Chain A
Amino acid sequence: MNISFDNIRTNTTMAAQGVQTSLEAAKANETNLEAYDLTISLADAAIEDIKAAGLPKDALRRDDDLGKLVSAAFSLPPPPFPDV
């Protein structure tokens, strides 16, 4: 699986910086919505990357037992090409 650890590191670092900026704004009794939104989106991206990095190698196989069952079950024929 192609996982970019650099990407995870960058997103995590930037999210941490966003948290710091938001905290400083809060201490000064201000609201920095831009920093807050950026922090949330970067943190979400970092979490997704970390979760994907932890997936087993065969997580995306289509030909495992389950995949074979699903493919066999959903092999209905399509309708004919429409009369255009």
Chain B
Amino acid sequence: MKTIEEHYKVLAPKLTNWLVASGSPYAEACDLVQETFVKIWNMRNDLHDDDEAISGLVFTIARNLRKNLARDGRRLVLQDEIGEDEAGAAPQSESATSDDCAYLRRKLSAAFAQLPPVLREAYTLFQVAEMSVREIAVQTGVSENLVKVRIFRAKEKLKELLADVRKDFR
């Protein structure tokens, strides 16, 4: 059976970036990831050895924690306490610099914010959290086919919204 630390290595990057892509400031995302895994740690003796189930549980806990945070109107840390620049993004392509990534992130976040919530959720879970269609269907409580349609619609809308940005980065 995988240890919680091993699950963390796989899931924490996906969860952190998904939280940021779906509207949380980076510092808040980091707090939510850690708080989520404290809860997972406390539940460690009751968890089954099923990667997909644990991934689903991690994302569900993080979503609920974020809802609670929004409801309580509180922030766990000041948003500027840990800046994205300090954290240092890890660009995947050699040509992309940190500045490029920060610029892209702002543009993409603005575009995501213009998507209907169900499309944004399906697409970010698919592309940023790298969930399978089946996992997204379970996570969002809709059919797999509806998930596929939502991802496709989100992509089409994003291509429209980001036409200029995509040209710049070609």
Please report A residues at the B interface, Cβ cutoff 8 Å.
1, 45, 48-49, 51-52, 55-56, 59-60, 62, 64-79, 81-82, 84
Contacts and interface: CB of A to CB of B under 8 A. Distances in A.
Nearest to B142: A48
7 nearest A-B residue pairs (beta carbon): A78-B12, A52-B145, A73-B104, A79-B30, A74-B17, A82-B34, A78-B16
Nearest to A70: B127
B127 A65 contact: no
A79 B28 CA distance: 11
A70 B37 contact: no
A72 B101 contact: yes
A81 B37 CA distance: 8
A41 to B, nearest CB: 11
B108 A55 contact: no
Interface residues of B, number: 54
A75 B101 CA distance: 8
A82 B38 contact: yes
Given A73-B105, A74-B21, A79 B16 contact: yes
Given A48-B143, A70-B108, A76-B16, 11 more contacts: A48-B146, A51-B149, A59-B151, A65-B170, A70-B21, A74-B20, A75-B89, A75-B101, A76-B84, A78-B16, A79-B16
Given A48-B149, A60-B133, A69 B169 contact: yes
A49 B5 CA distance: 39
Nearest to B129: A74
11 contacts: A60-B148, A62-B130, A65-B170, A74-B105, A74-B108, A75-B101, A77-B89, A78-B15, A79-B31, A82-B34, A82-B41
Nearest to A55: B152
Contacts of B15: 78
Nearest to B11: A78
B143 to A, nearest CB: 6
B53 interface: no
Interface string B129-154: 01001000000000101101101100
A52 B133 CA distance: 12
Contacts of A69: 104, 108, 162, 165-166, 169
Interface in B1-48: 5, 8, 12-13, 15-18, 20-21, 26, 29-31, 33-35, 37-38, 41
